[in-house]
Structure 1
Amino acid sequence: MEAKRPVFPEYDPDDVSSNTSGNRSFGEVVQRRMSRRTALVGGTAAAAGFLAAAGLGTGTAAAASGGPGDGGWQGGVRPRRLLGFSPVPTSDADDFTVPEGYETQVLIPWGTPIRPSGPQWRKDGSNSAAEQAEQIGMNHDGMHFFPLGNGPAGSRRGLLVLNHEYVDQDLLFPDGPEEMTAEKVRKALAAHGVSVVEVEQRGDGQWQVVESPRARRVTGSTPVTFSGPVGPDHPALAAANEPMGTLNNCSSGYTPWGTYLACEENWNGYFGTEDPDWEPTPAQARYGISASGFGYRWHEADPRFDLAADPGEINRFGWIVEIDPRNPDAKPVKRTALGRFKHEGCTVTESRGHVVAYSGDDQDGDYIYKFVGKGNWRVHRALGRSPLDHGTLYVARFDDDGSGTWLPLEHGTGPLTTANGFADQADVLLRTREAADAVGATRMDRPEWIAINPKTGDVYCTLTNGSGWDNAVNPRTPNPYGHIISWTEEGGRHTATSFSWDIFVLAGDPAYDEQVDLPQSGIFGSPDGLAFDGDGRMWIQTDVSNSAQNLAQRGYDNIGNNQMLAADPRTGEIRRFLTGPRGAEISGVTFTPDQRTMFVNVQHPGEATTAWGTPSPEDPRAVSNWPDFDPDGRPRSATVVIRRTDGGVIGA
C-alpha cells in the first residue's frame, strides 16, 4: 500500500522564506549526491545503501558510512551503551512525563521573583511592568548552568541563566492586547530578554532560588553597547534613544571565559508602522521586515518601534549578545563580528587556541555560519580585548560529493566589494544575509541548534522543517518533519575551511512517510533544541508547530505533544525521554557538572493550537493549565528539574 503523504504544516510568520537568491538549496545537494552515488555504484541498491548509511529510513545515523558519527568499534571493543532508560510513549495529555526511575520539579515559572524577596507573581496577569522587570520572563528558551564552586559544590549551587524568546500578549495582560498602551509595551519588554538567578540544591534534593547579588534581568529596555566592526557610533545604529535592549532571544551559548551568549532571532517581527508611504529597503526585505510585523503593534504606543519614525532602531537587533553572569553591573555587549541575522544559537568551542562559534539562521532557505577567531583567545583576553571582536565570519556551502566549504564573508573578497555595493566590513555584517547570498551559500531547511560531540568533535545541526524548493528538498519536498545533519571539519580542526558532511537521521512518522523507519519509541518531528552531555549522549528537543501538533491531517497525530529524546551517535539508537504539556515547545537544556541534575525548559504551554483551541483573556486555560493547574490561574513557561531517584547520571 502506498504510504500516506502528510500535508505540509501551515507556516508561522517567521518561517516564510525571504531568500530570493538563486543559490542552491541543501535539498538539491542531497538529491545530486544520492544520484551520484547511484551512478557510481550502479542500480538502486546504491541509493538504498546511502539511505541506510545516512540514517534515512533506518534511524541508525551515519554509523554504516564511516562518516561523521562513525559507529565503528575501536580496537574491536564493543562500546558501552549510552542509553539506560525505558522510553516513554508519545502523549497528547496536558502533562510532563519522564521515564520510570526519574523525578521532576517545576522551577522558576514565568513571574517567579529573581530574588525570593522580590515582587510575587499574580495569577491574573496583573503584575506591573516594573514588577515584571524583577521577575522571571516569559517563554523560556536557551539556558546554561554556571557552577559556583569546585568539585561537588559546583553541582549543588550555581547561576542559572536563561533566555525569554517572546511574549503571548493574550496571557501577559489581564485584558489582552486589544488596546495597546505604553505600559503594556514596557511590560512586554520586561518579559523579554534574559534572567540570571542563583539556585542551590537543598539537603532533600530539591532546588530553590536563593537571594543573590548576581541576580539580574536583562530586558528589552536594558542599556547595551556594540563592539566589533559595527561600533556604537556607526551611523546605521543612530536612533532616537541610547542603545538598549535585546529581543527574541532563542537559543544561547557560553564561552570558555565564562560568559553567556544570548542570540536574537525573530527581531524583525516587533517593528511596524502606520505610515502608508513606508516601504522596506532591499536589505530590510531580505530580513523579512514589514509594516505589520508579527502583529505586536508596539509601534502604536512607542515610536521606538515605528519603522518610519525611527528607522535606525531596527539595525540594533539581529546580533549575538554577550552577558557576564557574575557581574550584574557589566553592560551587555552586542558582538557584531559574528554577523547580523536571525541567530538561533551560538555554539562555541576552541581549536588550537582559536575561538570558534557556530550559528544557524532560523528561517526557511537560510544559512549556517561559523566565526573563527584570529589569534589565541587567551592573549586577547590578557590584552583586554574580546576574542569575539577579531576574526572571520564564514557561511557554509554543501557540495554534491559530501564535501563542503566555508566561504569567508570578508569585504574585498570575491563579490563582497565596493563595486558590488558593499561599502566596508561593517556593511557586510549589517547585511550578512545579502553577503551570504552573494558568495553562494547553500539554502537550508531552517537551521536551528548546533551541537558538538565532545567525544569526536563532529558538529550536528537540527533542520526543523522546510517548504521545499521545487526539488527533493532535504531530501523531501516538502519536508514537514525535518532532520539532523552532521559534519566533520577537515583534520578535526574547527578552524578548517573545508568539511565532510552526511545526514544523521531523517525525522518523521513511518505511518505517513515510507522513508522513515524510526521505531515508535523514537519517532519525532521538527527537531529544534540539540545538546550533548559529557558522556556523548545527544539530546534532541522538538518544536512541532501548533498548527500541526496532534493533527492527523498534518501527519503529527502519532507523534503527539512536543518531546525530548536521547540518541547514541555511535549506533543511531534514539529513545524518547520526556513529553511536554499541550501547546508547549521543549527548548533549552543544561546539566550540573556531575550530570546528575538536568534542567529543561517548557516554552509557551497553553498557546493557541489548531487541535485544542485558543486562549483568551476570558479563558486563558483553554489549551493548558500547566504547571500550576490553578482554576483561577494561567499556563506558565517554566524550567523543570529532572533527577534520577537513585541519584545517578541522567540518561545512563
Structure 2
Amino acid sequence: MSRLIKTDDSVVNASSNPAFSAILEASLDRRGLLKGLGASLALGLAGGTVSQLAQAANATPTAPLSLGFTGLPFSTDDVVHVPAGYSTQVLYAWGDPVGVPGKQPTFKQDASNSAEEQALQAGMHHDGMAYFPLPFGSAHSKRGLLAINHEYTDDGLLHPDGMAHWNDKKTAKAQAAVGVSVIEVEDTGKGWRVVRPSALARRITATTPCAISGPAKGHALMKTQDDPKGVRVLGTLNNCANGQTPWGTYLTCEENWSDYFANNGELSADDKRYGIKATDAGYKWSETDFRFDRQITPNEAHRFGWVVEIDPFDAKSTPVKRTALGRVKHEGAMLVLAPDNRVVVYMGDDQRFEYIYKFVSSKPYNPKNRKANFDLLDHGTLYVARFDQDNTGRWLELTHGKNGLTAANGFASQADICIHTRRAADLVGATKMDRPEWIAAHPHKPYEIYCTLTNNSERGKEGKPGVDAANPRVDNSFGQIIRWFEGDNNPATTEFVWDLFALGGSPTGKGDKKASVQGDTFGSPDGLKFASNGLLWVQTDVSTSTLNEKDYAGMGNNQMLAVIPERGEFRRFLTGPRGCEITGIAFTPDNRTMFINIQHPGETSSERSDPAAPKAVSAWPDGAAGGRPRSATVVIRRDDGGVIGVA
C-alpha cells in the first residue's frame, strides 16, 4: 500500500451506507459465541445453530500443523531478522537487470541510470508477487518465474538530485520504475539466482501498451485522442497486491492510480469519488505528460484503476485490463474456484470506508485448454459485500438493471457500473470498511475467506462514519482481520456468515487499543497469504510516521507473522529493516522456499527521501558500499531444507 501520496488521510466516500464500525459494535456481545464461526455452511444460513457452525469451523485438518520456530522479539535493527535455523538471501533489488537478452544495464549507486536503462531493470517499491513453476503446468520448486509488482517511486532516491529541476526525462524514468517485473529464477543448490539472460524476462511499465477488455471496452468514457476506439492504453501503475490464476496468468492491481492525475478546473463527481484533486500527489507527471492532466486528456483517468492480466509465459503478449472486475483502488485479486469450476475473484478497495468486492465468472475454468480461459474474467457478475449486525452478510449484485442500477440513477449500461464502481456500490448499500487490503482463502476450505483491514484513524471523528459512543474501536489505529464463510460451502453464493478473526494491537492494551490476538503483538495488517499446507502468513504496514511511536511505541519495525487459523496463535517470524514495509508473499510448490518483498527501506517520516542524505534512515541491503536503500525480493529457506514455518 503506497503511503507517499497521502491517500490514507483522505475519505472520499460520502454515502450514507453503514460503517463497519457500527456493525462491529453490535456484534461484539456475541464475539465469544461466534469465535471460530462456521467453515461448513452446508446446513444453510438459517439451518444450523451457531455452535454447529463453530464446531465445523474448528474441525482439525487431516494433517494438523504446528508452528516450528521460536518467535522473534521486536527489532529496530537495519537488517532482516528470521528465526534460528533459517537464512535469507537478497535476490532481486531495485535497479538489478531484469535479464532481457542483450540488454542488462547494471545499477548505478548514485541513481544516474537513464529512463531507458530503468525500463530494463527492477522497478522501485516491490509489492505483490507470484511464483510460476517452469515449465508451465509443472509443480517444479527449483526453477520458475517470479512476477513482481513495483508500486510507486520515491523520487528523492530515483534521481541524483531528487525532484529538483523536474523535466520530461525524470517523468520518463519514474514511469519506467513502476509496473511489473517478470524474472526467471532457479535454485542452484547453493542459493537462488536470477537467470540472465532469459527469453521470458521483461518489464511492464507505465508506458507499456495494454489492451482494454470487458464491458468498458470501447465506451465513450474510455476513448482519448490517442485511442479513439477506447481499446488500448499505455501502461499500468501503482501496482499493489496481486492474484494468480489456475491457467497460469498473473493479476496485477492498480491501487492509488488517482494520485498521478491533476484537474485544476471544476472537479467532476468521478474526480471527487476517486480522490482526484487540483494537483497530483507530488509525482509531477502531469507537468510533462499531458495524459495525466484531466483538463487536457479528460478520459485518461478512466483507463486506470483496473485488474490487469499478464501472461508471464509469453514475453510478447499484451497485458489486458479486465474491466468486468470494476474500477476501484484495487489492493489485490485473490482467485478461487467454485464447486462447478466457475472462477471467483475477491478484491479489496484500499481506502478508508471503502468496500470489499467479488466477481463470479459466467463460464467455468477449463483445465484442458489454457487459451479457452483467457476471456473468463470478461464475463460474469460483480458483487459488493454487506456485513449485517447478526453476523450474516450478503453479496449485493452490481448488474445493470438490478438494485437500482438504472439509467435513471446514472448507470446506462454495465460499462457505466464498471467505470463508476464506487458509486454503484454506494447506491446498493455496501458496508464501509476500514481499508480492505489483501484477501486470502483457506487452501483446504476455499469458502473460508480472510481479509486484512489495515486501520482507520478517521473512524469516529466529527462528521465521519462510525461516530458512536458505544463503538469499541473508535480511532482504529491497529486494524483487524475479518473472516467470512460462504453459504453452502460455495464461493459463488450470495450469502455468508462472518466473524472477527483478530483485532490488532497488544493483548495487554486498554480500552479501544486492546487486541484480541493470541501470541505476538502486531498492528496494521496488510499482506496476507496462505501456504498450500494451510499456514497463514500476515505482514504489517505501519506507516513510517507511526513506526515505534504513538500507539506503536516499543513495537519496532514492520514484521511478518505466521498463524494456524484453527489454533489462532500469532507468532512473529520476520522483522524488516528500518523504514520498510513487509509485503509480497510467494512460495515454491513444496513450501521449502518463500519469497517476500522489502518495500521502501529507509523511508522517512515525510515519506520522500532527501537526495542529499539518501541513507539517513537505512542503508539496506547494500550497507556501507551502497549509495541508497533499495527495495528488494528476499529468499527465505530453512537451513535443513524443510518446510517453512512448521515443525
Distance in 1 (CA, whole Å) between partners of 2:124 and 2:52 is 43
Higher mean C-alpha deviation, range 205-214 or range 195-204: 205-214
Q: Pairwise CA RMSD of aligned residues?
A: 2.4
Aligned residue in 1 for 2:400? 411
Cα distance change of structure 1 residues 384 and 456 upon mapping to structure 2, 3 Å threshold: closer
Aligned residue in 2 for 1:324? 311
- Of 338, 350, 353, the residue aligned with 1:365 is 353
Task: Tell me if 1:542 matches 2:530.
Answer: no
DSSP-derived class of the 2:25 partner: helix
Using the TM superposition, give the Cα deviation of residue 14 of structure 1 relative to its aligned residue in structure 2, in angstroms.
3.7
Distance in 1 (CA, whole Å) between partners of 2:137 and 2:214 is 36
DSSP-derived class of the 1:283 partner: helix
Contact 1:152 1:594 in 2 (8 A): no
The 5 A counterparts of 1:341-356 are 341-351=328-338, 352-356=340-344
Distance in 2 (CA, whole Å) between partners of 1:145 and 1:214 is 14
The 5 A counterparts of 1:63-82 are 72-74=58-60, 80-82=64-66
DSSP-derived class of the 2:147 partner: strand
Equivalent residue pairs, number: 614
Aligned residue in 1 for 2:596? 600
Using the TM superposition, give the Cα deviation of residue 453 of structure 1 relative to its aligned residue in structure 2, in angstroms.
0.5
Task: Tell me if 1:205 matches 2:203.
Answer: no
**1:239-259 CA distance string (max 9 Å, x none):** 243411001000000111110
Cα distance change of structure 1 residues 69 and 442 upon mapping to structure 2, 3 Å threshold: farther
Distance in 2 (CA, whole Å) between partners of 1:603 and 1:460 is 23
Contact 2:34 2:54 in 1 (8 A): no
The 5 A counterparts of 1:54-203 are 72-74=58-60, 80-115=64-99, 118-149=104-135, 154-203=140-189
Aligned residue in 2 for 1:302? 289
Q: What one-letter code is carried by the residue in structure 2 that aligns with 1:245?
A: G
Task: Tell me if 1:257 matches 2:253.
Answer: no
Aligned residue in 1 for 2:382? 393
Aligned residue in 1 for 2:230? none
Contact 1:66 1:72 in 2 (8 A): no
Using the TM superposition, give the Cα deviation of residue 73 of structure 1 relative to its aligned residue in structure 2, in angstroms.
4.4
Using the TM superposition, give the Cα deviation of residue 354 of structure 1 relative to its aligned residue in structure 2, in angstroms.
0.3
Contact 1:73 1:79 in 2 (8 A): no
Cα distance change of structure 1 residues 152 and 378 upon mapping to structure 2, 3 Å threshold: closer
Distance in 2 (CA, whole Å) between partners of 1:472 and 1:78 is 45
Aligned residue in 2 for 1:609? 605
- Of 11, 14, 23, the residue aligned with 1:20 is 14
Contact 2:4 2:608 in 1 (8 A): no
**1:385-415 CA distance string (max 9 Å, x none):** 6000110000000011110000000010021
Cα distance change of structure 1 residues 179 and 531 upon mapping to structure 2, 3 Å threshold: same
- Of 464, 480, 483, the residue aligned with 1:486 is 483
**1:119-146 CA distance string (max 9 Å, x none):** 0000000000000000010000000000
Contact 1:509 1:559 in 2 (8 A): no
Task: Tell me if 1:649 matches 2:643.
Answer: yes
Q: What one-letter code is carried by the residue in structure 2 that aligns with 1:476?
A: R
Distance in 2 (CA, whole Å) between partners of 1:69 and 1:21 is 38
DSSP-derived class of the 1:154 partner: coil
Using the TM superposition, give the Cα deviation of residue 13 of structure 1 relative to its aligned residue in structure 2, in angstroms.
2.7
Using the TM superposition, give the Cα deviation of residue 427 of structure 1 relative to its aligned residue in structure 2, in angstroms.
0.5
- Of 232, 241, 247, the residue aligned with 2:226 is 241
Distance in 2 (CA, whole Å) between partners of 1:252 and 1:10 is 20
Q: What one-letter code is carried by the residue in structure 2 that aligns with 1:129?
A: A
Higher mean C-alpha deviation, range 147-156 or range 618-627: 147-156
Aligned residue in 2 for 1:529? 527
Contact 1:367 1:444 in 2 (8 A): yes
Distance in 1 (CA, whole Å) between partners of 2:341 and 2:289 is 45
Contact 2:507 2:518 in 1 (8 A): no
Higher mean C-alpha deviation, range 383-392 or range 411-420: 383-392
Return 5+ residue gaps in structure 2 as ranges. 38-49, 228-232, 460-465
Using the TM superposition, give the Cα deviation of residue 181 of structure 1 relative to its aligned residue in structure 2, in angstroms.
0.7
Cα distance change of structure 1 residues 543 and 383 upon mapping to structure 2, 3 Å threshold: closer
Q: What one-letter code is carried by the residue in structure 2 that aligns with 1:374?
A: S
Aligned residue in 1 for 2:268? 281
**1:222-270 CA distance string (max 9 Å, x none):** 0011001011x32212224341100100000011111000000000001
Contact 1:481 1:508 in 2 (8 A): yes
Cα distance change of structure 1 residues 124 and 66 upon mapping to structure 2, 3 Å threshold: farther
TM-score by length of structure 2 reads 0.91
DSSP-derived class of the 1:130 partner: helix
Task: Tell me if 1:443 matches 2:432.
Answer: yes
DSSP-derived class of the 1:108 partner: strand
**1:285-310 CA distance string (max 9 Å, x none):** 10011112211111112212111111
Using the TM superposition, give the Cα deviation of residue 512 of structure 1 relative to its aligned residue in structure 2, in angstroms.
3.9
Higher mean C-alpha deviation, range 430-439 or range 413-422: 413-422
Same amino acid, percent of matched pairs: 51
Q: What one-letter code is carried by the residue in structure 2 that aligns with 1:509?
A: S
Aligned residue in 1 for 2:45? none
Using the TM superposition, give the Cα deviation of residue 608 of structure 1 relative to its aligned residue in structure 2, in angstroms.
1.2
The 5 A counterparts of 1:608-647 are 608-609=604-605, 615-647=609-641
Using the TM superposition, give the Cα deviation of residue 474 of structure 1 relative to its aligned residue in structure 2, in angstroms.
7.9
**1:568-595 CA distance string (max 9 Å, x none):** 1001011000000111000101001111
**1:585-637 CA distance string (max 9 Å, x none):** 00101001111000000000011127xx9731111001111000135510000
Using the TM superposition, give the Cα deviation of residue 519 of structure 1 relative to its aligned residue in structure 2, in angstroms.
7.3
**1:84-139 CA distance string (max 9 Å, x none):** 11111111111110000000000110000011860000000000000000001000
Q: What one-letter code is carried by the residue in structure 2 that aligns with 1:173?
A: H
Aligned residue in 2 for 1:557? 553
Distance in 1 (CA, whole Å) between partners of 2:376 and 2:51 is 37
Task: Tell me if 1:591 matches 2:576.
Answer: no
TM-score by length of structure 1 reads 0.90
Distance in 1 (CA, whole Å) between partners of 2:125 and 2:371 is 37
The 5 A counterparts of 1:29-48 are 29-34=23-28, 37=30
Contact 1:259 1:324 in 2 (8 A): yes
**1:178-206 CA distance string (max 9 Å, x none):** 22211111100100000000011112234
Cα distance change of structure 1 residues 68 and 197 upon mapping to structure 2, 3 Å threshold: farther
Distance in 1 (CA, whole Å) between partners of 2:469 and 2:273 is 25
Higher mean C-alpha deviation, range 304-313 or range 581-590: 304-313
Return 5+ residue gaps in structure 1 as ranges. 1-8, 38-46, 55-63
DSSP-derived class of the 1:646 partner: coil
DSSP-derived class of the 1:304 partner: helix
Higher mean C-alpha deviation, range 515-524 or range 432-441: 515-524
Cα distance change of structure 1 residues 160 and 10 upon mapping to structure 2, 3 Å threshold: closer
Contact 1:67 1:501 in 2 (8 A): no
Distance in 2 (CA, whole Å) between partners of 1:228 and 1:349 is 20
Aligned residue in 2 for 1:338? 325
Using the TM superposition, give the Cα deviation of residue 152 of structure 1 relative to its aligned residue in structure 2, in angstroms.
9.1
Using the TM superposition, give the Cα deviation of residue 471 of structure 1 relative to its aligned residue in structure 2, in angstroms.
2.8
Distance in 2 (CA, whole Å) between partners of 1:11 and 1:315 is 19
Using the TM superposition, give the Cα deviation of residue 353 of structure 1 relative to its aligned residue in structure 2, in angstroms.
1.4
Q: What one-letter code is carried by the residue in structure 1 that aligns with 2:525?
A: P
Contact 1:614 1:623 in 2 (8 A): no
